[in-house]
């Protein structure tokens, strides 16, 4: 069996210790498809796993990385053949089984999506779970009936991964986007992505009124907690907010007033266990509805050896946009 390079987490003295190691391919988990990984990415959840937070990983040694893009090396599934370009996000890969911070990965065929034409492996991971989640949120708002004519859309945590791609996609679709961020120094960056207005997150972080002045027809929220409650209280009659993150906390100190007096809907977005057909639709939409130049603006590339350094930075909110990890 061949060897490959991987970032391996060990548990030593109650702490998680990462090391770059050479690993035998026969240590890969079971699965019908073996992939040569070209790129992975750094998500908030990856940062938690690298720090050993949240007990997301229960068994060590462990290879993290919740996303990857690459090429099929071997397949026992009729769905995929050697040479096929594929993407994986979610399914708790990188948590309960080995993930993408390695030159090889093996997974069930049902976890994989064929990479859309016109999208490179690097671009796919510049999108990654964050961009995939953002597109699921946009699709949910569209199913609710939201259109650009209904009014502006707010995006919280706008300088982060989910927020950056949500801003770029929504602006390309014709929406007037209000970007909320705790880093007002990133206002020029958000304007380049297509934001019509940038507001300080402090406008949404204080105690929320049951109902506040109507400001937007919908929203994409990656923060949660009080921020989400404020967004809901300011949503126009019949609007909707897609909730897809918890960077500000898991609690929801809310009133029912927006729901029963304005008919506002709260749409929950889960990208981890999302069924395969919506996955395919979302990736096809991303290949079409995300401007490649804006994606380049969003993206920073690092090597596998830099992941250890960047993990704490994403947890501290010090990473802008998307961080792509070049594996091979």
Mean of the pLDDT values across residues 181-185?
Answer: 94
CATH number of the domain that residue 322 is part of: 3.90.180.10
Is residue 220 located within the same domain as residue 306? no
pTM for the whole thing? 0.94
Q: CA-CA distance, 239 to 246, in Å (whole number)?
A: 21
- Shared-domain flag, residues 7 and 68: yes
Residue 276: inside a domain: no
Question: Is there a domain that residue 211 lies in?
Answer: yes
Q: How far is CA 116 from the centre of its chain?
A: 18
Question: pLDDT digit string (tens) for 131-173?
Answer: 999 999 999 999 999 999 999 999 999 999 999 999 999 999 9
Q: Which domain holds residue 100?
A: 3-115+293-326
For residue 261, what is the domain's CATH number?
3.40.50.720
* SS3 call for 296: helix
137 with 168, same domain: the answer is yes
Domain count for the chain: 2
pLDDT band at 21 (very low <50, low <70, confident <90, very high): very high
Question: Do 12 and 105 share a structural domain?
Answer: yes
Same domain, yes or no, for 139 and 226? yes
- Looking at residue 305, what is its pLDDT? 93
Q: Is there a domain that residue 124 lies in?
A: no
Three-state SS for 105?
strand
Q: Is residue 287 part of a domain?
A: no
Dihedral sign for Cα 59, 65, 67, 71, please. negative
Which 8-state DSSP code applies to residue 52?
T
Residue whose entry in the numeric block shows the structure tokens 């390309």: 172
Answer whether residue 286 is part of any domain.
no
Q: Which residues are registered as beta bridge partners of 241?
A: 219, 266
3-class DSSP state of 48: helix
pLDDT tens digit string along 25-40? 999 999 999 999 999 9
- Provide the mean pLDDT of the chain: 96
For the residues 64-88, what does the mean pLDDT come to? 98
Contacts of 233 (CB under 8 A, 6+ apart): 208, 209, 210, 211, 212, 255, 257, 258
Tally of CA atoms within 13 A in the half-sphere of 281 that contains its CB: 12
Please tell me whether residue 147 adopts helix, strand or coil conformation: coil
Query: How far apart, in Å, are the Cα atoms of 182 and each of 90, 158, 164?
Result: 27, 9, 13
| Residues 6 or more apart whose Cβ sits within 8 Å of residue 310 | 42, 47, 302, 319, 323
């Amino acid at each position: 069996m061949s060897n490959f390079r991987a970032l391996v987490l060990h548990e030593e003295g109650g702490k998680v210790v990462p090391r770059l190691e050479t690993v035998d391919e026969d240590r890969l988990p079971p699965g019908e498809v073996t992939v040569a990984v070209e790129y992975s990415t750094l998500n908030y959840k990856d940062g938690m796993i690298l720090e050993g937070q949240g007990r997301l990983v229960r068994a060590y040694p462990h290879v993290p990385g919740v996303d990857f893009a690459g090429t099929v090396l071997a397949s026992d599934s009729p769905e995929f053949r050697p040479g096929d370009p594929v993407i994986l996000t979610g399914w708790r890969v990188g948590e309960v089984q080995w993930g993408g911070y390695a030159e090889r990965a093996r997974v069930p065929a049902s976890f994989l999506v064929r990479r859309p034409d016109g999208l490179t492996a690097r671009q796919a991971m510049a999108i990654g779970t964050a961009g995939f989640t953002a597109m699921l949120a946009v699709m949910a708002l569209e199913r609710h009936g939201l259109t650009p004519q209904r009014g502006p859309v707010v995006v919280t945590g706008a300088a982060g991964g989910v927020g950056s791609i949500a801003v770029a996609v929504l602006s390309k679709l014709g929406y007037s986007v209000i970007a909320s961020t705790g880093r007002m120094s990133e206002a020029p960056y958000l304007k380049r992505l297509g934001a019509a207005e940038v507001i300080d997150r402090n406008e949404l972080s204080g105690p929320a009124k049951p109902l506040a002045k109507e400001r937007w027809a919908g929203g994409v929220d990656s923060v949660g907690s009080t921020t989400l409650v404020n967004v809901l209280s300011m949503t126009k009659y019949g609007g909707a907010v897609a909730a897809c993150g918890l960077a500000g906390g898991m609690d929801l100190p809310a009133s029912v007033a927006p729901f029963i007096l304005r008919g506002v809907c709260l749409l929950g977005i889960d990208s981890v266990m999302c069924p395969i057909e919506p996955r395919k639709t979302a990736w096809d939409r991303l290949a079409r509805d995300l401007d490649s130049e804006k994606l380049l603006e969003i993206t920073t590339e690092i090597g596998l050896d830099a992941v250890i350094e960047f993990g704490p930075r994403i947890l501290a909110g010090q990473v802008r946009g998307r961080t792509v990890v070049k594996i091979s």
